[in-house]
Amino acid sequence: MAQFINRFARLPDALFARVKATPLSDSRLLLWNQALAQQLQIEAWQQQPATLAALAGDGHLVGSEPLAALYAGHQFGVYVPQLGDGRALWLGELAVADGQCAELQLKGAGPTPFSRGADGRAVLRSSVREYLASEAMHGLGIPTTRALALFASSQLARRERWEPTAVVCRVAPTFIRFGSFEVLYWRGETALLKTLADFVIEQSYPDCQSAPNPYQALLQCVVLRTAELMAAWQAVGFVHGVMNSDNMSIAGLTLDYGPYGFLDRYVPDQVFNHSDDHGRYAFSQQPRIGLWNLYCLGQALIDLIGKDTTLAVLGQYEAHYQQAWQQNMAAKLGLSEWQPDDAALVEAWLALLAEQGADYTRAHRLLAYFSSTEAAGPVRDEFVDRAAFDQWAQRYQQRLQQQALSDAERQTMMLAVNPKYILRNYMAEHAIQQLEQHQDDSELQRLAHLLQQPYAEQEEYEAYFAHPPAWAEGIHLSCSS
């Protein structure tokens, strides 16, 4: 049985506020992640009404030490000196038998000292989206915070309209953000900053302890993990939507799902966040915004590392990102190794997808069935201009003939990295409508199940591989959640 050890709660009180959840008027369990519960050795919790109630914010979980963490961050490029967990509540850290630890957090469990006048709630719409996306990303093999449980309530919160609320219980090795360091740097709290850095190293990057300068090693690890995370997002077509530095995980996890989206058609400058007027967080911008945010973190750590070294460490990002991206794209195209000319081949493929408005996920999945002897396959039908595809296909065929892989081997390799099912916006939207309008959770349950295995053929779910319906284009996502 997992035990609470709560190491973060042992740090100085200035880093957080101890605060209790404010229960919702009535809440019911909508989703329970049994696989994750098993991994955390807490599967018995599902049978314990008082424990479940506490996970919805109603009551106390034995061993938990609830608190809201302090952080700041750069939002759309502008420094906001105090943010903090305004509607997230850290419950504690569980030590799981095999030496692993996991922190639990509630999102939407009421106001905290960091709520800045807002209600501390999360609406059902955004909670469903957070649960599904966390688990979809996990299924895809992309580092992310996880979702353990989703509770729905009939209590309403005011957004653009009055909406039902919910609580998500999420799980991560740590919820510390770049902004957790920024707030201390800009307040001149040097000793606290060092304490926090030491803690992060001990908890998340223990190997850094033996480095000549552990803080330099820490920054380097975060730079590399962030570069890899960005390369993973780009490869799968994920758009975070609000890459403010307070939403950047120190552990390189996808964190804080808001107005995110997975690309349907391949539109490099696609923006999902309705309030992102200038496309700062467009799909194509994410790798450079990742670096921009790392500069914010580097600035915060500069006194512990030194200016020149900080810049040198940040300077490793570009090459590492390129390498990770090339590795991902090589796998997606079934190339057993990246050769110098492959950059042009991949760029031409992406340009073709963009020009033809092809579906990013479908095109890659179907490319696995491309025949290198006939330069053909079902992927051709994804393009309006077949001649344009044929031109590229000839180049691809020549490239495939240079490697030793058989078509069958290449297909297996490609099907393992090109998902068949992603969480398209319309899918989440449909599940939310069913819930809100008909109190019907069957679509939600279906999606939660489907997305656990996005690379597997699941015949009963074939319909989710189809092109999105026309109404999907009209879905607007706002930051208000």
Site residues, ligand AMP (CB under 6 A): 83-87, 114-115, 118-121, 242, 247, 256, 258, 479
Helix spans in 357-441 (H): 360-367, 386-401, 407-415, 425-438
Residue 276 designated active-site: no
DSSP H or E stretch at residue 326: helix 317-332
Determine which residue in the list 93, 163, 182, 256 makes contact with Mg ion, applying CB under 5 A.
Answer: 256
**How many residues at the interface with Mg ion, by CB under 5 A?**
2
Exposed (0-12), middle (13-18) or buried (19+): which is 141, by Cβ within 10 Å? middle
Q: At its nearest, how many Å lie between ligand AMP and the CB of residue 409? A: 43
Six token digits for residue 106: 């509630």
Among the options 246, 264, 276, 441, which is catalytic?
246
165 is a contact residue toward Mg ion (CB under 5 A): no
Q: At its nearest, how many Å lie between Mg ion and the CB of residue 81? A: 16
Q: Of these partners, ligand AMP, Mg ion, none, which one is at the site of residue 84 (CB under 5 to 8 Å by kind)? A: ligand AMP
Query: How many other β-carbons are positioned within 10 Å of the β-carbon of residue 467?
Result: 12
- Separation of alpha carbons 287 and 265, rounded Å: 20
Cβ closest to ligand AMP, residue 86 vs residue 268: 86
Q: At its nearest, how many Å lie between ligand AMP and the CB of residue 325? A: 26
Helix spans in 118-169 (H): 124-140
User: Which amino acid belongs to residue 429?
Assistant: E
Q: Which residue has the tokens 């307070």?
A: 246
Cβ closest to ligand AMP, residue 120 vs residue 419: 120
Q: At its nearest, how many Å lie between ligand AMP and the CB of residue 41? A: 30
112 is a contact residue toward Mg ion (CB under 5 A): no
DSSP H or E stretch at residue 223: helix 214-236
Cβ closest to Mg ion, residue 134 vs residue 247: 247
Q: Of these partners, ligand AMP, Mg ion, none, which one is at the site of residue 198 (CB under 5 to 8 Å by kind)? A: none
3-state secondary structure at position 42: coil
93 is a contact residue toward Mg ion (CB under 5 A): no
Cβ closest to ligand AMP, residue 55 vs residue 243: 243
- E-strand stretches of 33-161: 67-69, 73-75, 78-80, 88-95, 101-107, 122-123, 146-158
- Separation of alpha carbons 12 and 103, rounded Å: 18
- Separation of alpha carbons 461 and 463, rounded Å: 5
Task: Please give the DSSP secondary-structure letter assigned to residue 451.
Answer: T
Q: At its nearest, how many Å lie between ligand AMP and the CB of residue 125? A: 13
Note whether 245 and 289 are within 8 A (CB): no
- Separation of alpha carbons 68 and 114, rounded Å: 8
441 is a contact residue toward Mg ion (CB under 5 A): no
Q: What is the DSSP string of 156-191?
A: EEESSSEEEEEEEEEEES---BHHHHHHHHHTT-HH
Strand partners, 224: none
- Separation of alpha carbons 102 and 256, rounded Å: 17
* Shortest-Cβ-distance residue relative to ligand AMP: 86
Q: At its nearest, how many Å lie between ligand AMP and the CB of residue 9? A: 19
Note whether 307 and 256 are within 8 A (CB): no
Give the range of 101-109, 179-187, 243-251, 326-334 binding Mg ion by CB under 5 A: 243-251
Six token digits for residue 118: 């807002």
Cβ closest to Mg ion, residue 103 vs residue 256: 256
Q: Of these partners, ligand AMP, Mg ion, none, which one is at the site of residue 119 (CB under 5 to 8 Å by kind)? A: ligand AMP
Q: At its nearest, how many Å lie between ligand AMP and the CB of residue 193? A: 19
Q: At its nearest, how many Å lie between ligand AMP and the CB of residue 89? A: 10
Cβ closest to ligand AMP, residue 224 vs residue 479: 479
User: Which amino acid belongs to residue 338?
Assistant: W
Determine which residue in the list 216, 247, 293, 356 makes contact with Mg ion, applying CB under 5 A.
Answer: 247
Can you give the binding site for Mg ion, defined by CB under 5 A? Answer: 247, 256
Question: Could you give the residue numbers annotated as active site?
Answer: 246
